[in-house]
Amino acid sequence: MEGIYRFSFGPWNIHEGADPFGPAVRRSMKLSEKLDLYKKLGFDGVQFHDDDAVPDMNNLSPGQIIDQAKQLRNILDDHGLAAEFVAPRLWEDERTIDGGYTSNDKACRDYALDRSKRAIDIANALGIDLLVLWLAREGTYIRESKDSKLAVERLTGSINQMLLYDSKIRICIEPKPNEPMDHAFIPTAGHAVALAQLCIDPDRVGVNIESAHAILAGLDPSDEMGFALAFNKLWTVHLNDQNGLKFDQDKSFASVDIRRAFNQVRILDKYGYGNKGEWVGLDVKAMRSQKFDVSTKHLTNSRKNFLKLLELSRSLDEEKVEELIAGRDYEELDNLILSHLLA
């Protein structure tokens, strides 16, 4: 079964270019300006942090948060856009300096859970059932600062509370091995899938594979996708690219390694990604050097690269591939793939 592709990104993917060593270099765009761009860039879906959807939500009551999210839903409808997921942004608050769900401080853990419930309320108001957890600070700067068994229990306990809070919500874990922490507790798809099995409703806990995060873990992103697919848990993806083991680069999809990108498209298409409504999310960042009026090209280029690789995937001589696999002539298989990509 072939895939069906609709593309999404988050408002944070159009950004001002600040990095840890220098300030913003482009003016910021209001959410309304960004929403006006989505369709023009070829995108139909919007991924949201909870406070992208409802700014300043820590100072609003649960009722006010829901009202604002409902207003946003109307705005999305007017633009012909759909929300894809909501992700609680737990890494910026002073109460999550040392993590949220795995913080050593109970008051901080309570805050993280409460904020996650508000994010679920926002998802409901936007008419969607997907909550993404990028577990940014759920890890350690030094090994001795947290108990890793307890951390897993605390993560499970928090996710269980979310599953109980809303009987429809699906929780999608976005694994990443490091950054901002030295070591993250859920670094790979395998960890995320295993964590799901510990939860009270494993069928409602899935995975978001980000290409760069897999590469940072020293893994092939298409293998991470295949692993999640085998468990029916690949509920969204964050496609991008990454030049080796350094800071998380969020480069345009396929811009570093075309073959690695090809294999991601190929496995998605082979297993009918998108047929159950999954989106192709692009978690890409413009280079800091990019001027304002050309600061969305990373998005259009990533989407274009995906579609070109899809054509290449569909035009690969699969019979020849099978024949070479049967003959164990992997040198010729290697050459076939390279010739196809270079043609």
- Binding residues for Mg ion, rule: CB under 5 A, are 210, 238, 283
Restricted to residues 16-55, the positions that interact with ligand GLO (CB under 6 A) are 49
CA distance 116 to 110: 10
CA distance 45 to 279: 8
Q: Among Mg ion, ligand GLO, none, what binds residue 84 when CB lies within 5 to 8 Å by partner kind?
A: none
Three-class secondary structure assignment of 222-240: HHHHHHHHHCCCEEEEEEC
Nearer to ligand GLO among residue 103 and residue 211 (C-beta): 211
Q: Is 340 a catalytic residue?
A: no
Nearer to ligand GLO among residue 174 and residue 241 (C-beta): 174
Residue 78: CB atoms within 10 A of its CB come to 9
Q: Among ligand GLO, Mg ion, none, what binds residue 248 when CB lies within 5 to 8 Å by partner kind?
A: ligand GLO
| Binds ligand GLO (CB under 6 A): choice among 146, 222, 283, 298 | 283
Q: Among ligand GLO, Mg ion, none, what binds residue 87 when CB lies within 5 to 8 Å by partner kind?
A: ligand GLO
Q: How far is the CB of 134 from Mg ion (least distance, A)?
A: 6
> Which amino acid type is present at position 219?
L
> Which amino acid type is present at position 237?
V
Number of residues that bind ligand GLO (CB under 6 A): 10
Kindly write out the interface string for residues 183-212 of this chain, putting x where it contacts ligand GLO by CB under 6 A and - elsewhere: ---------------------------x--
| Binds ligand GLO (CB under 6 A): choice among 34, 137, 154, 238 | 238
Element of type H or E holding 109: helix 106-125
Q: Is 56 a catalytic residue?
A: no
**CA distances for 99 relative to 33, 103, 238, angstroms:** 32, 5, 22
**CB of 237 within 8 A of CB of 210?**
yes
Nearer to ligand GLO among residue 116 and residue 313 (C-beta): 116
Nearer to Mg ion among residue 266 and residue 285 (C-beta): 285
**CB of 95 within 8 A of CB of 107?**
yes
**CB of 299 within 8 A of CB of 9?**
yes
Q: Among Mg ion, ligand GLO, none, what binds residue 176 when CB lies within 5 to 8 Å by partner kind?
A: ligand GLO
173-202 burial code (b ≥16 CB/10 A, e <16): bbbbbbeebeebbbbbbbbbbebbeebeee
- The single residue of 50, 51, 52, 269 carrying the catalytic annotation is 52
**CB of 201 within 8 A of CB of 166?**
no
Tell me the HSE value of 149 on the side-chain side, using a 13 A CA sphere.
Answer: 0
Q: Among ligand GLO, Mg ion, none, what binds residue 121 when CB lies within 5 to 8 Å by partner kind?
A: none
Which residue is nearest to ligand GLO, using beta carbons?
A: 87
Nearer to Mg ion among residue 68 and residue 305 (C-beta): 305
Query: Where on the chain is the footprint of ligand GLO (CB under 6 A)?
Result: 49, 87, 132, 134, 174, 176, 210, 238, 248, 283
What residues are labeled active site? 49, 52
